[in-house]
Amino acid sequence: MLSEIAKFPFYVLLHPFQGFWDLKYENKGKLRISLSILLLLTIATIILRQYSGFVVNFNYPYDLNSISELQYIVLPFFLWCVSNWSLTTLMDGEGKFKEIVMATGYALLPLVLMRFGNTFLSNIITLRESSFYYLIESIATLWFIWLLFIGTMTVHQYSVMKTIVTMLLTLVVMGIIIFLGLLFFSLLQEMLGFVFAIYTEISLRL
């Protein structure tokens, strides 16, 4: 049973159409597996940035911060899921929020494998061979987008064109959410500042 749960993400990797179908209709997907893949991706990225070989590692060591990886991986992940859910609810999507999280999480698997593999590979290549490193990176990214595309299509039972449009719109919605968030926080800041100023003013006058 356990080995089957562990094997399923790899099955999705290679048979996306059948895989995502099973994920949605056969209850083969597990939310905790999806979230573990997300966690693994974070770890893989941290390791890649810190330990990739000198010839491809251009990171300033003092700038590396594991917390900021959360900001660039976990936050966009949930932002994508929330935006996608908000959008597809209005656009006759059949996917539940849980299914969106699962599909997106399973689609991240190529990135996880690539980052672990590349960390190892980058330590045994020279500058001339570094194009392989970048090639693998590009392939994994394309694979991820491909899986995400199939996942979205299957989960919501969309046509191809509708999926593409939905995915692009999801990016727009992500931007809107970020904008609203920033607006909210900056207004909150202004308000707090105002209250604090009044308090200071009164306390100085009394």
Partner 1 sequence: MMKLIKLMTSAALLLAAFQLFASPLQAAAPYEGYSYSYWGTTSTTPNAYLPETVINGVEQGIGKFKEPTDLYVDDDGQLYVLDAGNGRIVVFDEQWKVVREIRGFQNGGKQDQFANPQGLFVTKKGQIFVADTDNSRVVELTNEGEFVREIGAPKSEVIRDGFEYFPKKVGVDNAGRIYVIGRGVFDGIIEFDSDGVFTGFMGTNRVKFDVWDYFWKKLSTKAQKSKLAQFVPLEFNNLDLDQEGFIYTTTAEVNSADPIKRLNSTGVDVLRREGYFFPRGDVYSSNPNASSILIDVQVGANGVYSALDSRKGRVFTYNEDGNLMYVFGRIGTQEGTFKTPVAVESRGSQFFVLDQGLNRINVFSPTRYGTLINDANALLVSGDYNGAESKWRELLRLDANNEIAYVGIGKAMLRQGDNKLAMENLKLGYDRVYYSKAFGKYRKEMTRKYFGAGMTVVFVLIAALWSWNIIKRRSTGKVKANVI
Q: Shortest gap between Cβ of 55 and partner 1 (angstroms)? A: 5
* Chain-centre distance for alpha carbon 183: 23
> Please, which residue, 48 or 150, has the CB nearer to partner 1?
48
Q: Shortest gap between Cβ of 137 and partner 1 (angstroms)? A: 18
> Please, which residue, 36 or 130, has the CB nearer to partner 1?
130
* Chain-centre distance for alpha carbon 92: 24
Q: Check binding of 55 to partner 1 (CB under 8 A).
A: yes
Q: Which of 25, 26, 128, 204 binds partner 1 (CB under 8 A)?
A: 128
Q: Which of 2, 67, 124, 202 binds partner 1 (CB under 8 A)?
A: 124
Q: Check binding of 127 to partner 1 (CB under 8 A).
A: yes
Rg from Cα positions in the chain: 21
Q: Which of 14, 26, 54, 204 binds partner 1 (CB under 8 A)?
A: 54
- Restricted to residues 2-41, the positions that interact with partner 1 (CB under 8 A) are none
Q: Shortest gap between Cβ of 124 and partner 1 (angstroms)? A: 7
Q: Which of 126, 161, 168, 203 binds partner 1 (CB under 8 A)?
A: 126
From residue 156, alpha-carbon distances to 18, 99, 171 in Å are: 15, 9, 17
CB 70 within 8 A of CB 107: no
Q: Shortest gap between Cβ of 123 and partner 1 (angstroms)? A: 10
Q: Shortest gap between Cβ of 64 and partner 1 (angstroms)? A: 13
From residue 174, alpha-carbon distances to 62, 76, 77, 142 in Å are: 30, 8, 10, 21
Residue type (1 letter), 83: S
Q: Binders of partner 1: how many residues, by CB under 8 A?
A: 7
Could you tell me the end-to-end alpha-carbon distance of the chain, in angstroms, rounded to an integer? 72
Structure tokens at 177: 């959410």
From residue 177, alpha-carbon distances to 32, 36, 78, 79, 95 in Å are: 26, 25, 12, 8, 21
Q: How far apart are CA 89 and CA 83, in angstroms?
A: 10
> Please, which residue, 25 or 54, has the CB nearer to partner 1?
54
Q: Check binding of 50 to partner 1 (CB under 8 A).
A: no
Contact set with partner 1 (CB under 8 A): 54-55, 60, 124, 126-128
